[in-house]
Structure 1
Amino acid sequence: MAKKRNEWLDWLKALVIAGLLAFIVRTFLFTPIVVDGPSMLPTLENGDHMIVNKFTYLVGEPDRFDIVVFHATAKKDFIKRVIGLPGEHVEVRDETLYIDGEIVKEPFLDTEKNSLKQNDVFTFDFTLEDLPGNYSEIPPEHVLVLGDNRSNSTDSRLLGLIPYDQIVGEAAVLYWPLDRFRFID
């Protein structure tokens, strides 16, 4: 009888430890997310399942072109690409991204831009001053984010700049559907 009870206690301890480890990993290191909507096409598709690395920004700051998940509202997280960093001025004019007046290439948009017909607009022109907040440069601990599907994305053009403390983490792995499995770089 005592042997059977010890076996149950061992199983209970193992389950408690496994649950605790899962809680720690999910809370502080990684979390799953499902892409909801077309705003990151063609990079990410509606229904893609991803793992978000929450640890990255505990030890560092976002880099340009990172794909990040952030709290857009109290109940909704969005996934977008970091375009502008603190201290920068951002402008898009004639389908070209300018950071502090210098052209910055966006190779992840080449296919879409090359398929535009005359007079089609992929990214409507804007300057940082046009965004909510009327900033002349991105303030400390904030980023400007845009969806890759610029003509169909709720991003900094509507939401304003995103404070670091609203960023959940960086998209790390697309794991479902399996035929689209890849590490996000």
Structure 2
Amino acid sequence: MTGKRSEWFDWVKALGIAAAIAIIIRVFLFSPVIVDGPSMLPTLHDGDYLIVNKISYTIGDPERFDVVVFHATETRNYIKRVIGLPGEHVEYKDEKLYVNGKTVNEPFIQDRVNQLNDNQTYTFDFSLEDLPGGYQKIPEGYVLVLGDNRNNSTDSRRLGLISIDRIVGEAQFKIWPPSRIGTVN
């Protein structure tokens, strides 16, 4: 009887340790997220399952073009791309991104921009001053984010700048559906 009790205890202990490790990984390191909506097309599709790296910004800062998950409201997270960083001035004019007056290419939307007719616009012109807050430069501790699907995205143009403290982490891997498995570019 002692052998069975010891074996049973070993199984309970192993399952408890495994559960504790899973909880630590989920809470502090990585988290699954499901894309909800078309705002990040063509990069991410509605229903894509992602793994978000929660420690990216604990040990570093967001970089331009990182795809991040952030708390948009108390109950809702959004997925967007970092476009502007602290200390920068951002402007969009004639389908071109300008950071501190210099053109910055956005390869992740270039195919869509190239397919536009003469009277179509993918990203409407705006400058940092036009956004909520009316800043001339992005303050420390904030980033400007946009969805890749610029005509169908609630992002910094409407929400204002996003506090880095509200960022959950960086979306790094697509894990579902199988045809889309890979890194998030």
> What TM-score, normalized by structure 1, do the two folds share?
0.99
Structure-2 separation of matches of 1:70 and 1:154: 13
Q: Give the aligned residue type for 1:3.
A: G
Percent sequence identity over aligned pairs: 61
**Is the 2:40–2:147 contact (alpha carbons within 8 Å) kept by the matching residues of 1?**
yes
Q: How does 1:26-37 map to 2 (within 5 A)?
A: 26-37=26-37
1:55, CA displacement in angstroms?
Answer: 1.0
User: How many equivalent pairs are there?
Assistant: 185
Q: How does 1:7-18 map to 2 (within 5 A)?
A: 7-18=7-18
Structure-2 separation of matches of 1:156 and 1:22: 34
**What's the counterpart of residue 56 of structure 1?**
56
Q: Give the aligned residue type for 1:86.
A: P
**What's the counterpart of residue 92 of structure 1?**
92
Structure 2: give runs of 5+ residues left out of the alignment. Answer: none
1:159, CA displacement in angstroms?
Answer: 0.6
Structure-2 separation of matches of 1:6 and 1:111: 63
**What's the counterpart of residue 65 of structure 1?**
65
Q: How does 1:30-45 map to 2 (within 5 A)?
A: 30-45=30-45
Q: Give the aligned residue type for 1:79.
A: I
- Alignment partner of 1:81: what SS? strand
> What TM-score, normalized by structure 2, do the two folds share?
0.99
Q: How does 1:1-185 map to 2 (within 5 A)?
A: 1-185=1-185
Structure-1 separation of matches of 2:65 and 2:25: 25
- Alignment partner of 1:44: what SS? coil
Query: Which ranges of 4 or more aligned residues in structure 1 deviate by more than 4 Å?
Result: none
Structure-1 separation of matches of 2:99 and 2:119: 24
Deviations 1:113-155 (A, max 9, x none): 0000011011011110111111110000110000000010000
1:8, CA displacement in angstroms?
Answer: 1.1
Structure-1 separation of matches of 2:120 and 2:140: 35
- Alignment partner of 2:121: what SS? coil
**Is the 2:91–2:127 contact (alpha carbons within 8 Å) kept by the matching residues of 1?**
yes
The alignment's C-alpha RMSD in Å is 0.6
**Is the 2:86–2:140 contact (alpha carbons within 8 Å) kept by the matching residues of 1?**
yes
Structure-1 separation of matches of 2:113 and 2:168: 30
Structure 1: give runs of 5+ residues left out of the alignment. Answer: none
1:184, CA displacement in angstroms?
Answer: 1.9
Structure-1 separation of matches of 2:112 and 2:4: 65
1:2, CA displacement in angstroms?
Answer: 1.2
Q: Give the aligned residue type for 1:137.
A: K
